[in-house]
Amino acid sequence: MSVLALVMVTTGTASAQSHEGLSLGVFGGVSAVEHAGPVGGIELASARSARVHVFGEAAWFGDVVTRRRVETVEAVAAHLAARQGQAATGTIDAPATSFTVGARFLLAESSALRPYVAVQAGIARVTLQPTFELGGTDVTEKLEQYGVTLGEDVTGSAVRPAFGGGLGVLLDRDAWTVDASVRVLRIQTSGQATTVTRLSVGIGRRF
C-alpha cells in the first residue's frame, strides 16, 4: 500500500509540475464586428499555480469597423453623389492592434484537457481607413475640394483602453500546449465603443 501511495503522489506531482513555468505561443483565427476578418498574435504566459496563469498578449485584427461607421461613410458618399451628380461609393476598413495583460482561471488542475475562463485589459490602436470614389475615380484625398471634411469618427488613428475576456480550453502534450478560445474585446473608441469577437486557436511551448 505504501509503495502504491508513493507512486500516486509522484505521478500527481509530475503532472502538476508539467503545467508550470513560462510558455510562448502564437495564435490565429477570425474576428468579427460588422465584418469578419483575420486575427493573429503572440502570447507570453506564466503559470502562477496549477489553476491560475497570467499572460501578456499582442494581437492584430484585420478589420474592426462598426456598423455606425459604415453607415456614416455611406451617407457621406450619398451626399457627395447628390452634390456632384455622379455615382459615388464609400467604404471603410479599420485594422487594429491590441496589447493586453490578463489571467486564465483553469477549471481543472491536472487533466490533459483543461477548460478555463480568461479576463484581460490593456490598450488598442484602431486606424480608420475610408475610401471614396466619385465616377469611378478615387477622391479620398480630394474630398475638401468637394466641400466634404471627414471627422475623427471615420478617419485617423487613436489608442484607446480595451478590456475583455472569454472561454477556452487548453490541451497539454508534454512541453506543447494547444489553446482554443472564444474571446470578446471591447475597445473604447471615440463616439462608439468597438466590441470585437474572436475565435482563435494557438500553439505554445513551455520552457
What digits encode the pLDDT tens for the residues 27-57? 999 999 999 999 999 999 999 998 999 999 9
Give pTM, 2 decimals: 0.86
CATH of the domain at 130: 2.40.160.20
Q: Which three cell numbers stand for residue 33?
A: 464586428
Of the candidates 173, 175, 164, the one whose C-alpha atom is nearest the C-alpha of residue 200 is 164
Positions in the chain short of pLDDT 70 = 1-20
* Contact by Cβ (8 Å): 120, 164: yes
Q: How many domains are there within the chain?
A: 1
Tell me which amino acid residue 198 is: R
- 164: cell is 475583455
Backbone dihedral angles phi then psi of residue 180, each to the nearest 5 degrees: -115, 130
> Residue 69: CB partners within 8 Å, gap ≥ 6?
34, 92, 94, 128, 153, 154, 192
Domain of 76, in residue numbers: 2-206
